[in-house]
Amino acid sequence: GEDVEQSLFLSVREGDSSVINCTYTDSSSTYLYWYKQEPGAGLQLLTYIFSNMDMKQDQRLTVLLNKKDKHLSLRIADTQTGDSAIYFCAEKGNNFNKFYFGSGTKLNVKP
């Protein structure tokens, strides 16, 4: 099946920028997503990018997509303690409505 890889942990100081990286293998991916999971909760869609875009900005969030290297990143500017959560990268290919998720990156924001 499709592989989506992420590093497991990231620790930053409050006010710094966070960059969470993801690589995927499916070259037919149409959409790529970032989901956020707060402790004890389900996953919530944070942002997405269509495969023909290179960049998408949404307030403090910047998504960069390098299709050639199959690399997706999420940058959170001015990271706050409320951003502490697990962030999942996901991709959707052409296959029906199936989504493939990475293992999640646990972001720890230190005051």
Which residues here bind another protein, judged by CB under 8 A?
Answer: 1, 4, 6, 8, 31, 33, 35, 40-45, 48, 50, 88, 90, 92, 96-99, 101-104
Q: What are the start-end ranges of the E strands in the chain?
A: 4-6, 9-13, 18-24, 31-37, 43-50, 55-58, 61-66, 71-76, 85-92, 99-101, 105-110
C-beta closer to another protein: residue 23 or 99: 99
- Among candidate residues 105, 110, 108, the one with its CA nearest the CA of residue 34: 105
C-beta closer to another protein: residue 71 or 98: 98
C-beta closer to another protein: residue 50 or 80: 50
Shortest gap between Cβ of 83 and another protein (angstroms)? 19
